[in-house]
Structure 1
Amino acid sequence: MVWVFQQGHLAGLFATEGLGYVNLTVPVLVAAIAFGLSVDYEVFLLSRIRERWLAGVPADRAVAEGIQRTGRIITSAALLLVVVFAGFITGGFVPIKGIGLGLVLAVAIDATVVRMLLVPATMTLLNRYNWWAPAPLRKLHGRIEVSEEREPALVG
């Protein structure tokens, strides 16, 4: 964003000019929105990986199968978001263009580099330590019985 909107590189492509600054709200909004979107991808991906791991599949294969099950959906969702945020770039207000460009880059990098390369590589290296938790947290988790496999008890 600095390269385009502050320094003016490729500014003509975005129908703007180098302003010499980046609006302060742009990085904050891009970071907040990108974080919210990346959490959705992460929960979805990790749920499928953990599901396979709990089924007794070895960690490296669980990671591969989790990615196979979520890869198309994450890629499709990311592509859809990139198209929507690219529409912001066509707006007339420079901060909106900055938010659009920032989110296009953030979603593209998050969905490809982070979710499909760094997370699986790290999880494969960590193996069974991916699911380690401190004893008090394990006890709390067991006490509240957070699980997809059990039906919730009816109250009343």
Structure 2
Amino acid sequence: MDLDQIARLTSISDCEQLAKNAGGERPDLATAARKRLIELRASEYGAQSEAELECLKALYAYEEVLRSKHGRRQPAAYTRRMFKAQGVLQAVDSLVSKKKETVGFSALLGVGLQDYAFEAVVARYPSLFSSEAVLQSKARLSTWMVG
């Protein structure tokens, strides 16, 4: 299987199985399968905009990191509650605006998926978020790029 075939996968279970099977021998395929899995899960949510879709991808990417860490599916319950209570974009704004770095940012950075972090989404869509969220995101992202 190659990267083009992975991009055409339409089943979450196929992506999960491929990521599991390819993990040791072909980490590039395992990573591509996980990214496709993230895209499929996010598309099922029914995002209202491209920015919201990217925030959902960030959530699912973080949950994939949790799955790897715990060996089983582990939902990001606090973030999901915030999404439900405040809406996706407002919840991301609230999370990123805090002075303390989000746990998801650190976790995603650690596995090379920093492009999925909420901070990266805020940096790509600054007009949709508060000035504090944009400031905190840029600061964290610049630290990552320098560090």
Regarding TM over 0.5, the answer is no
| TM-score, normalised relative to structure 2 | 0.31
Structure having the higher Rg: 1
Structure with the greater relative contact order (CA < 8 A, sep ≥ 6): 1 or 2?
1
